Chains A and B, each alone.
Chain A
């Protein structure tokens, strides 16, 4: 387990994750500050950014001091020089999830943040072009939310009686 970078904001909670990766939990207010501290510490690349909707697991086990919210934004940072990964988890909010954008630190998160916005409705403040990326522009709702039904297409077999 490695230590937090020296310039990390106070109040970050570190928990060991599976596979010897580190997970840190951070307040939305300190999210960008923490990620930028990691970046100065040698984490050159933001490998992945995604959101999770914990609607069915609002009481999930989290380290002490973290208030679980419905939406979580998960960022996986990668250090090429140290060959390490670190995972930052932010509690993004319940109703209208909103966090700051990492675009100024890692321009490569642009598409990933747009995807998280498209699929979960998480708003990234300061993102230059927060539009839908996978769904059509006039789509209603955010498909990967847990309260968004899967939906199905009725299949009509030849010469089979139709649905009653």
Chain B
């Protein structure tokens, strides 16, 4: 018997050694101090001055009673290259730890090498499900540093595009969440509806994803002719189909059983862990930056902030489904009230001259050349600006040193922070609910790892 144990150990070692992340991984029970075993709970308990009750942690278990398994990085329901290490007792999750970094490409470092004009192409690849909102956030931060005003039409175009993007992002969430719960038809429907929006993006910006459409100073191009009809068709179609989703999922007993009461979160825990977005709203905190700290023209449009009651997975589902409808409401108002005028600032320091002028004016040509080789200079300063992305507060901290490249560009990614809630939500739950927890948190790994 003992021979067998030794042999397995020898076989496993070289296999894991190549992929091991050492201290980043979830450690065996024997190698973990008791205070650490209840960390997910302990972190929150410590808030109100209480100490961690040793009886609340199952620290007397031995290693041979539990099993540590890897979920991911290549697992279809982890939404990308998320790796979660789970300590299981049978079907129940005792501890868990997300191990991230598999998609880290140093985008913050790249951001320091690109000029402010090029920067939007970089940030748009972070949260690849809501590229417009990433660009918007970056552009707002740069515009704050520059101190320029953008025309009203540009503001409304930005709002229209970011709300359409929010709908597209929530549709992907509906689709993947359905897939995780075994409702594969929802997956097909979600992607089908999203295609309408992506087609409109392609018509407007030339690309379906990673648009580089919102840029410092305005947007890249005016809306295509007949855009009102396109957008109205999109709104009508998707709105009608959200009621079909209601029939397909919301009232369906199996779907409800998988979500109602699963992985509850309280408002205190959410605030302590820095959780924002639908996760925070599901706990009953009415915090939506579009309403509470308005940017663009969100203070001029009519929409509701959807808030949950129980903080469970079903609330998160209901919030996202209803946010699709609220976003469509905003989009319809944008169609009605779209002002005429310029789609980008006419400040020659920031905006390249129109194509026609380059052919006839030497100065326009020089301006164009300088803008695209050197870029515009941004005065010394630092700024933090935040917008509401489909996943929560998306922030951008830029330090400018007077040159044409940001000295430091940091993005506060909502998924990165929200991911910390996963161990807390999974603790004590079933293995099959762990899948729904990942899905409900809705991490986009491009943004988590940047």
Verify A44–B408 contact, CB threshold 8 A: no
Interface range, B side: 35 or more
- B229 smallest CB distance to A (angstroms): 38
A66 interfacial contact with B, CB 8 Å: no
A111 interfacial contact with B, CB 8 Å: yes
A29 interfacial contact with B, CB 8 Å: no
A158 interfacial contact with B, CB 8 Å: no
- B46 smallest CB distance to A (angstroms): 6
Residues 121-164 of A, flagged 1 when their CB comes within 8 A of B and 0 if not, give: 00000001101111111100001100000100000000000000
Interface range, A side: 35 or more
Verify B39–A108 contact, CB threshold 8 A: no
B292 interfacial contact with A, CB 8 Å: yes
- A142 smallest CB distance to B (angstroms): 11
In whole angstroms, how far apart are the Cα atoms of A60 and B399 in the complex?
12
Residue of A nearest to B449 (CB): A134
- Stretch of A5-13, A14-22, A30-38, A92-100 that contacts chain B: A14-22
Name B's A-contacting residues (CB within 8 A).
20-24, 36, 39, 43-44, 46-47, 100-101, 104, 106, 108-109, 113, 144-145, 271-276, 285, 287, 292-293, 380-386, 393, 395, 397, 399, 401, 407-408, 410, 412, 416-417, 419-420, 449-450
Contact (A107, B101) CB under 8 Å given A45-B274, A87-B384: no
> Could you say which of A48, A57, A138, A144 contacts B395, with CB atoms under 8 Å apart?
A48
| Neighbouring A residues of B36 by C-beta, 8 Å | 128-129
Residue of A nearest to B293 (CB): A83
Verify B43–A110 contact, CB threshold 8 A: yes
Contact (A106, B383) CB under 8 Å given A80-B287, A143-B106, A144-B108: no
| Neighbouring A residues of B106 by C-beta, 8 Å | 143
- A139 smallest CB distance to B (angstroms): 10
**Which 3 pairs, one residue from A and one from B, show the smallest C-beta to C-beta distance?**
A108-B274, A107-B43, A137-B22
Verify B271–A135 contact, CB threshold 8 A: no
Contact (A138, B274) CB under 8 Å given A47-B386, A56-B401, A108-B420: no
Verify B395–A107 contact, CB threshold 8 A: no
| Neighbouring B residues of A133 by C-beta, 8 Å | 24, 100-101
In whole angstroms, how far apart are the Cα atoms of A85 and B410 in the complex?
17
- B60 smallest CB distance to A (angstroms): 21
| Neighbouring B residues of A112 by C-beta, 8 Å | 416-417
Verify A80–B408 contact, CB threshold 8 A: no
Verify A111–B23 contact, CB threshold 8 A: no
Verify A106–B109 contact, CB threshold 8 A: no
Name A's B-contacting residues (CB within 8 A).
17-19, 21, 44-48, 50, 52-53, 56-57, 60-61, 74, 76, 78, 80, 83, 85, 87, 103-104, 106-112, 115, 119, 128-129, 131-138, 143-144, 150
In whole angstroms, how far apart are the Cα atoms of A80 and B145 in the complex?
25
In whole angstroms, how far apart are the Cα atoms of A122 and B64 in the complex?
38
Q: Which of A21, A111, A115 has the most CB of B within 10 A?
A: A111
In whole angstroms, how far apart are the Cα atoms of A138 and B22 in the complex?
8
In whole angstroms, how far apart are the Cα atoms of A100 and B104 in the complex?
27
Verify B412–A137 contact, CB threshold 8 A: no
- B424 smallest CB distance to A (angstroms): 9
Verify A50–B397 contact, CB threshold 8 A: yes
Verify A76–B401 contact, CB threshold 8 A: no
| Neighbouring A residues of B419 by C-beta, 8 Å | 111
Verify B416–A111 contact, CB threshold 8 A: yes
Q: Could you list some 21 contacts between A and B, CB below 8 A?
A: A47-B393, A48-B384, A48-B395, A48-B397, A50-B410, A50-B412, A52-B407, A53-B408, A56-B407, A57-B407, A74-B397, A76-B384, A78-B393, A110-B420, A131-B24, A133-B24, A133-B100, A133-B101, A134-B100, A134-B104, A136-B21
| Neighbouring B residues of A80 by C-beta, 8 Å | 271, 285, 287, 292
| Neighbouring A residues of B293 by C-beta, 8 Å | 83
Verify A19–B101 contact, CB threshold 8 A: no
Verify A61–B380 contact, CB threshold 8 A: yes
Residue of A nearest to B44 (CB): A107
In whole angstroms, how far apart are the Cα atoms of A135 and B449 in the complex?
9
Verify A107–B47 contact, CB threshold 8 A: yes
Verify A128–B39 contact, CB threshold 8 A: yes
Residue of A nearest to B40 (CB): A107
In whole angstroms, how far apart are the Cα atoms of A80 and B46 in the complex?
21
| Neighbouring A residues of B380 by C-beta, 8 Å | 60-61
